[in-house]
Amino acid sequence: MAFWEEKTLEEMTTVEWESLCDGCGRCCLMKLEDEDTGDIYVSDVRCQLLDGESCKCSDYPNRLKLVPDCIKLTPENVRTIEWIPKTCAYRRIAEGKGLAWWHPLVSGDPETVMTVGVSVRGRTVPEKSVKPGEWEEHVADWPNWEPPEEI
Q: 77-121, pLDDT tens digit by residue?
A: 999 998 999 999 999 999 999 999 999 999 999 999 999 999 999
Cβ pair 70, 64 in contact under 8 A: yes
* pLDDT for residue 85: 93
* pLDDT for residue 150: 73
* pLDDT for residue 151: 63
* pLDDT for residue 84: 94
* Sequence spans of domains, the chain: 3-142
Across the chain, which has 151 residues, the per-10-residue mean pLDDT values are: 95 97 96 92 96 96 96 95 94 95 97 96 96 94 88 63
Instruction: Give 115-119's long-range contacts (Cβ < 8 A, gap of 24+).
Output: 116/147, 117/142, 117/145, 117/147, 118/22, 118/24, 118/26, 118/87, 118/145, 118/147, 119/23, 119/24, 119/25, 119/55
List % helix, strand, coil for the chain (3-state, nearest 5). 35, 10, 55
